[in-house]
A and B are shown apart, each in its own frame.
Chain A
Amino acid sequence: MDIKRARVLVVEDEKIMSTFIMGNLRRLGILDLFAVENGAVALREVPTIKPDLILTDVHMQPMGGIEFVRKLRASAHSQLANIPVIFLSADSSASTVGEALPLGVAGYLVKPPNLTALNTKIELALNPPAAPKAR
Chain B
Amino acid sequence: MSSPSPTYLDTHLALEQIGDTDAMNGMLAMLQESLTRDIPLVAQLLGNGQIVEANRVLHALKGFVPIFCVESLCAHVVQVEAQSKDSQSTTIGAAYAALKPELEGLLEEVNAHLQQVDSGV
Contact = CB atoms under 8 A, between A and B. Distances in A.
Given A90-B63, A91-B59, A112-B64, A16 B18 contact: no
Given A59-B56, A59-B59, A16 B64 contact: yes
Interface stretch (A17-25, A35-43, A97-105): A17-25
Contacts of A15: 30, 34
A24 B16 CA distance: 11
Interface residues of B, number: 17
A32 interface: no
A91 B17 CA distance: 20
Contacts of A111: 63-64, 66
Contacts of B62: 90
B18 A90 contact: no
Contact of B18 (A14, A23, A59): A23
Nearest to A20: B67
- Chain B contact residues: helix, strand, loop or mixed: helix
A88 to B, nearest CB: 9
B19 A27 contact: yes
A114 interface: yes
Max chain B Cβ within 10 angstroms of own Cβ: one of A20, A61, A115: A20
B47 interface: no
B73 interface: no
Interface in B45-95: 56, 59-60, 62-64, 66-67
Contact of B63 (A14, A19, A24, A27): A14
A112 B31 CA distance: 14
A96 to B, nearest CB: 11
Contacts of B34: 15-16
Nearest to B68: A16
A133 B63 CA distance: 41
A91 B55 CA distance: 12
Given A16-B34, A17-B64, A111-B66, 14 more contacts: A14-B60, A15-B34, A16-B30, A16-B31, A16-B64, A19-B27, A23-B27, A61-B56, A90-B62, A91-B59, A111-B63, A112-B17, A112-B66, A112-B67
18 contacts: A14-B64, A15-B30, A16-B27, A16-B30, A16-B31, A19-B27, A19-B30, A20-B18, A20-B27, A20-B64, A23-B27, A24-B19, A27-B19, A89-B63, A90-B60, A90-B62, A111-B66, A112-B67
